[in-house]
Structure formats: C-alpha cells, structure tokens
Amino acid sequence: MKILMIGPFPPVINGVTVSNEFLYQQLVIKGEAVSKINTETGAIASRQGDKISISKIYTFLYIYKYLYKVLGEDVIYMAIGQTFWGLVKYTPFICLAKLLGTPYVLHIHGGYVCNAYDGMSPLKKWMFKHLLHGSKSIIALSSGLAADLSKTFPKAHIDVVENFYDPRLIGNPIARTSHAQPRFLFLSNLMLGKGILDFLDALLILKNEKQQAFQVAIAGSMEKGIGDSLNKKIEALGESVYFFGQADFEQKKALLYWSDVFVLPTWYVMEGQPLSIIEAYVTGNVVVSTYQGGIKDISGYTSFVKAEAQNSSALANTLLKVTTELLNFKHQIVQTQEAAQKRFDSSRFVEEIFSVLKK
C-alpha cells in the first residue's frame, strides 16, 4: 500500500510522536510504501491547541508545501489534534484527498475532542463535523473514548486501537530488587496539566509532615513558565531527587526498572491513554494516576491506584499508603505485567492500525 502519514514526529518526544514514529518504522519493515509529513510545532503547554498562534500558522503554512505528497497515495493517515484548529489545520490535505477520491483515516490520541466541540460556534461545529464525517475511520484509543465520540458524531465510523509498549523494554529486563526506601518515578513531559507540581508538593508533604524517606526520579521536557517553581520545589526536596531532562530510550528503560511506583497525577485536558502508564505496567511498577482522559479504561489492574487530581495532600496520603503496602503488591505486579504485555503488544497495535488503513 502507498500510505502517507501526516502528524507530529520526533525529535520532540511525547506519546503521539513516539506512536507515529513507531508505526512508521513498522510499516516500512512490513514492506509498505510509507511516506510522512511532520506537523510537530515543538510547543509544550498544558493548554496546547486551545489557541492559534503566529508560530503555529507559520509552521503549517510551511508544511502545506508538501501537499503534493497526497498525490498517488492509497490512503492518508492523520494524527490530528483535539481542538478546532487541531483538526482544521489539516483541511488542505483533507480537501485534496477528497478531490482525488483518496480515503483518509483520523487518529485521535485523547479524550478532549467532544468537550472542544461542545464549546464551538455553529459554523465551527459544522466544519469540524464535516471533516470528521468525511473520514473512512476515526481511531480512538479506548472503548470509553469511542463511546463519547459516537454520541457526539453518530455518523462517523469509529475503530478502537489501544496503545502499545516498545518491546525493547522487555528484552533483557533489569532484575528487580527490594529497596530500603520507596522509589518514585515521574516520566512524562513536565507540565502543569500532567501534575508535576502537584506531585512535588505531595513529596514535600511526605518529607516534612509524614517523615517518610524516599527517592524520586523525574525526567521529561519542561513546559515553558514553570521552571522557577519546579526548581525551588526540587531544591527543597534535597538529595532525594534525581532530576533528568528528556530521557532517551535506554535512560527511560533504566528508570522504569529502578523505580517501584510510577506517579502521573494528570489533569491534562487532552489526556489520552499515556504510553508511560503502559510502560510502567509492563516493567513492574505500581501505577498511581487519575482517571483523566482514557486512563480509566486501562486502570483495571490491582497494581493501579487511583489518585485525586490537583490535590497534593490527598496524593501524599495515597503515596504513603502505597509505600507501606509495597510488599503486598508483589503478586499483583506480576499479574499486571503478564496481562499488560499481552494486551498492549506492539504487533497487535500495528496490525490493527494496518487493518483500518486497508479496509
């Protein structure tokens, strides 16, 4: 098949870019004729996509010079945003595909679309719905997100394809050992919406009020504007914190096997089905997170502990409870590892996406 992929790709690292690059590489390995257009703007923000900026306009005007790539393709795969502009900026590619009679598939990596649609003007709603309904398929990350889309866009054809983990995480896994102090890990973009400051506040409560000793590793790219607050909290936590920037794959793998508890107290409005949670499952971590976006659909494991969003005091209590029960989680962790490795297998992910593309 001749497949054109349009969406965000590395070097910027987030769930969508990692997913797109992995899918691209696997389709190439399958022998498909795949090309790509990178739409990544490089911005990291908790309210990303809500507003159109001059830089984003410039980026997409530049990207439109690749419109010719639509010619001669069998299918167009687009990893779209979740706001009005997040979809409408793909309009030139969609319109040309329609003109040529080329089917297009839209992959939505989150659960904010319906909320965004409800707040649009009538004209924007008409445009948005027209573009969605014209697709051959809309891919949702979970059954819960698919149900929401079906209610809002009843004429759309929706397929569910859950996320995946990189199989290299399992190859030659690092042996796990018991630790005198619990080890926490925050492995995501360092954004307000991902709960990084809430997490640090919870750790300060553990240290100063609960007298709980621990170690914590933090890795990810930082959202603009939170550096001062983040650094002050890290400084207050002292030597218990290991702070990294953006981690490469081997660093990420080492951190996932170093830690005991993966923490993501996210309230990010565009949250989907975080790859980082799946990676934490398959590497043997207890997961502490919220039900934001599509997380509830992947929370049904005994090693998952629900956290309350934007409540550092409650999060501190949750983390304290988890640390006192870590030994009791041993059996549940093994069960979750085995189940998650089967459920989120990367070969399944690629085959399900490919089956949608070739329908």
**Would you state the pLDDT for residue 41?**
78
pLDDT of residue 48: 53
pTM, two decimal places: 0.93
148-196 tens-digit pLDDT = 999 999 999 999 999 999 999 997 777 778 888 999 999 999 999 999 9
Backbone angles phi, psi at 326, to 5 degrees: -55, -45
Indicate the domain borders of the chain: 2-164+345-357, 167-343
Question: Token digits for 318?
Answer: 């949750």
Task: Check if 2-164+345-357 and 167-343 are the same fold.
Answer: yes
CATH architecture, range 167-343: 3-Layer(aba) Sandwich (3.40)
Q: Other C-beta atoms within 10 Å of 122: how many?
A: 7
Q: What per-residue confidence (pLDDT) applies to 59?
A: 75
In 3D space, the residue among 305, 324, 325 whose CA is nearest the CA of residue 315 turns out to be 305
What are the backbone angles phi and psi of residue 304, rounded to the nearest 5°? -100, 130
Average pLDDT, rounded, for the chain: 93
Under CATH, to which class is 2-164+345-357 assigned? alpha beta
What are 221-278's pLDDT values in tens digits?
999 899 999 999 999 999 999 999 889 999 999 999 999 999 999 999 999 999 999 9
Point out which residues pair with 76 in neighbouring strands.
4, 104
Q: What is the 3-state secondary structure (H, E, C) of 180-208?
A: CCCEEEEECCECHHHCHHHHHHHHHHHHH
Rounded Cα distance, 248 and 206, in Å: 29
Whole-number Å distance between alpha carbons of 218 and 184: 9
**pLDDT higher than 80, residue 52:** no
